[in-house]
């Protein structure tokens, strides 16, 4: 079964998905006039903007909290274990292609997140939305919306959580010798406590965990880099040579390098995969473009900062060409070689926080789409048990190769479905971006949007 999944992965990732991701990213970049670079300052301003924060007794989550939920899902095993796997399999050049995917993929994240905001719906104490919602409301395709809802529920709510759990258990066993079964049981209990609390509890936990873990890991990486500052030019040289096949002795084929860089880059920053719009839709903002800019910033934060930290630590250590090292173990050994024995312990703690926050963020993506498919509250309860319980234990018990093969196939199918949708709906994003820019040029500090501006669409919100 795993061999068949690997063959499908090779076919999809070798041709279709990579071409689609790069093509869409480049088109959106050009069509939005390089929005991810030109409006970078606006992204930073919006991150700390208080004008859209819920007031009084409102329970809608803030723009920053939605950013934290999506970042919680992004910053996880992809940043520590995924980067290590990409380098071990595809060589140092895979890092270069991860950077490329972040630069062009941020435009794709911008587009899909705006669509998530535009077509969001009212749900109890918060908003709810995502690709399933904008496919049904924007494209009027119920079957395609249902297909996406199934794919993202399986991919994030189930398969992705098994990857996170597998990595945590591997890190804990490597650092402390803990039994994966016991760690899996602990993770199951902790995850179920959070996911049964709903999006507000998930948002609160994520908004605390994400900044702390990201800053802590980034600071440690800077320490390692400054300790080896004279070696940095060589690191860049190795990355570039391997990226373009100039030094095959350390990188394998160019195709393997590109494929692994793109796959692990997507797993890490999720741009184009259709996951972040589920979190983006929950925020209360005055204009959809605001959350699009915030989510584009999330791609930069994830890949250009956190992923690069792991890559530099591994490449500085020189351990990436040891075939017996892969995944989180490679990251642990690399950091340990630079800062001493406590490095493995630090990675174990960091990956626990990174991956745990990812599990609760991933769970919400699944819940949002379960609620799209059915209003039966029992279905949500069953999903909570499977996502936070069964799949966490499954990930704790199976092999590293098994969980990565499953998630690669899920990502490919999910991404293909979402890219078709956002290409067809992108015209509305371009109109919204033009409106936002025009209001800014008129001196309006906080642009607003009303659904009457797009009368041809059936929008539930934006009164």
Q: Cβ neighbours of residue 347 under 8 Å, at least 6 residues apart?
A: 80, 171, 175, 328, 331, 332, 335
- The structure tokens listed for 350 are 């960091």
- Of the candidate ranges 250-264, 290-304, 379-393, the one whose mean pLDDT is the lowest: 250-264
E-only strand ranges, 276-397: none
Q: Cβ neighbours of residue 26 under 8 Å, at least 6 residues apart?
A: 104
Q: What is the mean pLDDT of the chain?
A: 80
Q: Residue range 242-264: average pLDDT?
A: 61
Whether pLDDT at 186 is above 60: yes
Residue 463 domain-assigned (yes or no): no
Report the CATH number that the domain containing residue 124 is assigned in CATH: 1.20.1740
| Residue 459, phi-psi category: left (phi > 0), alpha (psi -120 to 50), beta (remainder) | beta
Q: What's the confidence (pLDDT) of residue 250?
A: 46
Residue 2 domain-assigned (yes or no): no
Residue 323 domain-assigned (yes or no): yes
Residue 462 domain-assigned (yes or no): no
Residue 1 domain-assigned (yes or no): no
CA-derived radius of gyration, the chain = 21
Residue 52 domain-assigned (yes or no): no
Q: What's the total number of domains in the chain?
A: 1
Residue 424 domain-assigned (yes or no): yes
DSSP code of residue 128: E
Do 306 and 75 touch, CB atoms closer than 8 A? Answer: yes
Q: What's the confidence (pLDDT) of residue 1?
A: 66
Q: What's the confidence (pLDDT) of residue 224?
A: 86
Number of H helices, E strands in the chain: 24, 2
Q: What's the confidence (pLDDT) of residue 384?
A: 82
pLDDT single digits (tens) 118-172 = 999 887 767 888 899 999 999 999 999 999 999 888 887 777 788 778 878 877 8
Q: Which domain holds residue 325?
A: 8-46+59-445
Cα 408 to Cα 185: distance, rounded to the nearest angstrom: 25
Do 447 and 289 touch, CB atoms closer than 8 A? Answer: yes
In total, the chain counts a number of residues equal to 463
CA nearest to 454, candidates 118, 111, 32: 118
Do 79 and 306 touch, CB atoms closer than 8 A? Answer: yes
Residue 53 domain-assigned (yes or no): no
Cα 101 to Cα 412: distance, rounded to the nearest angstrom: 15
Cα 380 to Cα 322: distance, rounded to the nearest angstrom: 44
Cα 240 to Cα 89: distance, rounded to the nearest angstrom: 16
pTM score, whole prediction: 0.81
Which of residues 283 and 77 earns the better pLDDT score? 283
Q: What percent of the chain has pLDDT over 70?
A: 79
Do 110 and 28 touch, CB atoms closer than 8 A? Answer: yes
Q: What's the confidence (pLDDT) of residue 377?
A: 81
- The structure tokens listed for 463 are 């009164």
């Amino acid at each position: 079964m795993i061999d068949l999944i690997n063959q499908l992965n090779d076919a999809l990732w070798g041709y279709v998905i990579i071409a689609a991701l790069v093509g869409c990213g480049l088109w959106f970049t050009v069509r939005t006039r390089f929005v991810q670079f030109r409006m970078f300052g606006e992204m930073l301003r919006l991150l700390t903007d208080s004008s859209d924060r819920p007031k009084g007794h409102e329970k809608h989550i803030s723009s920053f909290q939605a950013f934290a939920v999506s970042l919680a899902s992004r910053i996880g095993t992809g940043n520590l274990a995924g980067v290590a796997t990409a380098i071990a399999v595809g060589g140092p050049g895979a890092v270069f292609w991860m950077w490329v995917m972040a630069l062009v993929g941020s435009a794709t994240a911008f587009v899909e997140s705006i669509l998530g905001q535009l077509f969001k719906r009212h749900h109890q104490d918060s908003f709810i939305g995502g690709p399933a919602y904008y496919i049904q409301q924007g494209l009027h395709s119920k079957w395609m919306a249902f297909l996406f809802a199934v794919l993202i529920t399986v991919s994030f709510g189930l398969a992705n959580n098994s990857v996170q759990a597998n990595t945590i258990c591997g890190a804990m066993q490597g650092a402390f010798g803990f039994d994966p079964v016991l760690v899996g049981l602990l993770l199951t209990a902790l995850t179920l406590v959070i996911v049964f609390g709903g999006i507000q509890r998930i948002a609160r936990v994520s908004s605390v965990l994400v900044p702390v873990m990201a800053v802590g890991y980034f600071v440690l990486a800077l320490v390692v880099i400054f300790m080896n500052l004279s070696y940095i030019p060589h690191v860049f040289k190795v990355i570039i040579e391997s990226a373009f096949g100039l030094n095959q002795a350390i990188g394998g084929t160019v195709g393997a390098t590109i494929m692994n860089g793109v796959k692990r880059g997507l797993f890490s920053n999720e741009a184009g995969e259709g996951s972040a719009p589920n979190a983006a839709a929950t925020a209360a903002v005055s204009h959809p473009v605001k959350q699009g800019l915030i989510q584009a910033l999330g791609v930069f934060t994830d890949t250009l900062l956190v992923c690069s930290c792991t890559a530099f630590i591994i490449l500085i250590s020189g351990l990436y060409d040891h075939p017996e090292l892969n995944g989180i173990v490679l990251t642990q050994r690399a950091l340990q070689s630079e800062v001493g024995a406590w490095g493995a312990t630090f990675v174990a703690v960091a990956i626990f926080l990174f991956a745990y926050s990812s599990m609760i963020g991933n769970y919400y993506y699944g819940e949002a789409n379960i609620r799209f498919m059915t209003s039966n509250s029992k279905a949500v309860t069953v999903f909570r048990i499977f996502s936070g319980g069964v799949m966490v234990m499954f990930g704790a018990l199976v092999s590293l190769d098994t969980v990565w093969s499953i998630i690669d196939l899920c990502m490919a199918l999910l991404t293909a479905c979402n890219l078709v949708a956002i290409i067809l709906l992108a015209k509305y994003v371009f109109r919204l971006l033009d409106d936002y820019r025009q209001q800014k040029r008129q001196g309006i500090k906080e642009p607003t949007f009303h659904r009457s501006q797009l009368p041809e669409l059936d929008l539930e919100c934006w009164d």
